Structure 1
């Protein structure tokens, strides 16, 4: 998956099973230091970009040489949606194939196992102690 947290939420919201062994190419790119760290630009990101260069369109262009349409370019053209979806799937798979063997141990032992915990924290929120935090301001 690319941006697995989004995909997992979509699956859950549609009452579909969530696979047990999930890997996320967005987190993989971050762990490998492959995200773009420059200011956002329209060529790279289009309308729906991600700051930090971890979005699929940027990663596919930079690491696979694939030019991909943005959702903004596609959404009003139903005939283009199957190809758009297919390219997203192919790019995600090819990035995974390229990076799988290079991933550090912490990707497997920390980042992926914590994905569910992080999602639960995002969904429910976490308690904070404002007085304790005030000591750091």
Structure 2
């Protein structure tokens, strides 16, 4: 093994050096006419690229194939695909390292024979799914979409995720501080209409203030949702302040404070994940963080986009 478990006697099973294995692995992925099959290949290709290894051949991602064949599935994890299509239950990773949490083990703590079986099982199941899905794609006349659109798109997404984007962290911080002061100001306006201070973020407390203390007429039972507050604006000015509070709080918490936490310490850039298998309509989605949903509705929300900058100080970023 390249990295053996800590429990393994290194005198019995010596470690293969990185230099010995690197060239061999690089050669494996250097055949342009080879078809490489896997589950969620984008993840593996990004890891390989970090080590300077590019996959030159054609690709077949079983996860994307499953989504194309059945876009309404709840999950495209290989464990579930294996059960549904192969009637085979794979070994859960929790059996090796335990459930998520502070007591979860590292893979380096697992016995080599268990890791080996787990890895080989992954490869075997992916190949079996390929044999099924490749035929089914052709049968349903989806093969052209898969090979000509989905797979080339995945390669573009790999480039985008690897590249990432620069953000001006200080800009985000300054705008967050400014909006924080705006939130304090709006909070004072809200409390000016009530007898006592309350937790504005608590639907229960807010409902009591609106419908008991201020005696407003409920729209949808005692809901305090945005659409209800829009209607309540006709009854009391506090509703307008509450809408402003929620808008500013979302900008601060969801974007200004959250996005900088995703800056990669190695690249100093934000690397979102683009997903081809979440939306049943086939549209892309973006997670960790969601960079497809940066708000533009209000003047203050549009300011957030100024925090996304080019690595070249003489270049500009245009968005449409």
Q: Give the TM-score taking structure 2 as reference length.
A: 0.34
2-structure distance, mates of 1:69, 1:35: 25
2-structure distance, mates of 1:98, 1:119: 26
2-structure distance, mates of 1:6, 1:96: 18
Structure with bigger RCO (C-alpha 8 Å, 6+ apart): 1
1-structure distance, mates of 2:76, 2:111: 26
Alignment of 1:87-126 (within 5 A): 87-103=121-137, 104=142, 105-123=144-162, 124-125=164-165
CA contact (8 A) 1:29 1:35 kept: no
Bigger proportion of residues as helix: 1
Q: Give the TM-score taking structure 1 as reference length.
A: 0.74
Alignment of 1:20-39 (within 5 A): 20-33=57-70, 36-37=73-74
Runs of 4+ in structure 1 over 4 Å off: 125-128
2-structure distance, mates of 1:85, 1:35: 28
Which residue does the alignment assign to 1:72? 94
Match of 1:61 among 83, 86, 91: 83
In structure 2, relative to structure 1, the CA distance for the partners of 1:118 and 1:16 (3 Å cut) is: closer
CA contact (8 A) 1:60 1:66 kept: yes
Bigger Cα Rg: 2
What is the CA deviation profile of residues 80-103 of structure 1, one whole-angstrom value per residue up to 9, with x for unaligned ones? 111111111010000000010222
What is the CA deviation profile of residues 44-96 of structure 1, one whole-angstrom value per residue up to 9, with x for unaligned ones? xxxxxxxxx11111111111011111223224333211111111101000000
In structure 2, relative to structure 1, the CA distance for the partners of 1:15 and 1:25 (3 Å cut) is: same
What residue ranges of structure 1 are gaps of 5+ in the alignment? 38-52
Match of 1:134 among 273, 297, 302: 297
What residue ranges of structure 2 are gaps of 5+ in the alignment? 1-37, 97-106, 166-271, 273-290, 299-320
2-structure distance, mates of 1:19, 1:70: 31
Secondary structure of the 2:49 match is helix
Secondary structure of the 1:113 match is helix
Alignment of 1:32-51 (within 5 A): 32-33=69-70, 36-37=73-74
1:13 and 2:50 aligned = yes
Bigger proportion of residues as strand: 2
CA contact (8 A) 2:82 2:88 kept: yes
Aligned-pair distance for 1:33? 0.6
CA contact (8 A) 1:35 1:59 kept: no
